[in-house]
Amino acid sequence: MLIKTIPVGRLAANCYVVADENTLDCAVIDPGDESGAILDYLEEHRLCCRLILLTHGHADHVSAAAALAEETGAAVCMNEKDAHIQLGTGSGYIPPEGTRFCREGDLLQAGGLTFAVLETPGHTPGGLTFRCEDALFTGDTLFSGSCGRTDLPGGSMEAMMSSLAKLAALEGDFEVYPGHMDSTTLQAERRCNYYMRYAQQGEEK
């Protein structure tokens, strides 16, 4: 599995290209902007995009999804709870026609790669984490040393704590690829992330 991080847009959201090096099939996670740059990378490395995975419905993570789907024919996958989500601007995200709505436990395939869907609301009602081999793509749920904000429409600190506890309870360690900033590891966040530690304590009560 090969993972390329492409920061896109004015908020530098992390778009990830996750590729099967044997088949050259790939998934693109959170194409939030700059579809041209993403497509250029796919073409340069001869990758075939099979899935477009959205961790949540905020504009900085989804704005290039429709253009990418049109160019590649890949299926857009997201949680239905974030379809038409209001962003506090009076506008909402309308997913492209043919979008596949995912739920907890769904398995999505791109070449030899399998992405397991975890529902991790809190930042938005339909927040998702995608688990593939030893990697977690957490969107704006879990960051290095922090978690996503919950003060936007649809946010919930209670739901965020439950989601962080769910991630902390996963067996073993994982590389964590968040929606913004640097990657980390799940074990490091279990030890040092105040929000995750608080979430774990809440589960133990």
Q: With a cut of 80, say whether residue 85 has pLDDT above it.
A: no
Tokens standing for 29?
Answer: 């996670």
b/e sequence 75-113, b meaning 16+ C-beta within 10 Å: bbbbbebbbebebeeeeebebeeebeebeeebebebbeb
Strand partners, 175: 135, 185
For range 123-137, the mean pLDDT: 97
In angstroms, rounded to a whole number, what is the distance separating the alpha carbons of residues 91 and 109? 32
Give the pLDDT of residue 29. Answer: 98
Query: Cα(181)–Cα(106) distance, rounded to whole angstroms?
Result: 27
pLDDT at position 87: 52
Q: Using pLDDT thresholds of 50, 70 and 90, give the confidence band for residue 130.
A: very high
For residue 202, how many other CB atoms are within 10 A of its CB? 13
17 pairs with which residues across the strands?
4, 28
Classify the C-alpha dihedral 123-82-92-11 as positive or negative.
positive
Residue 86 has pLDDT above 60, yes or no: no
Q: What is the DSSP annotation of 131-193?
A: EETTEEEEETSEETTEE----STT--HHHHHHHHHHHHTSSS--EEEESSS--EEHHHHHHH-
Per-residue tokens: 28: 């693109």
- Does residue 93 carry a pLDDT above 80? no
Q: What pLDDT score was predicted for residue 202?
A: 75
- For range 104-122, the mean pLDDT: 98
In tens, the pLDDT along 157-176 reads: 999 999 999 999 999 999 99
Each residue of 7-31: pLDDT tens digit? Answer: 999 999 999 999 999 999 999 999 9
- The overall average pLDDT reported for the chain is 94
pTM for this prediction: 0.95
Helix (H, G, I), strand (E, B) or coil at 3: strand
Residue 86 is given by DSSP the state B
Is the per-residue pLDDT at 204 higher than 80? no
* Both structure tokens of 18: 């996750």
pLDDT one-digit tens code per residue, 33-54: 999 999 999 999 999 999 999 9
CB 123 within 8 A of CB 56: yes
pLDDT over 50 (residue 90): no
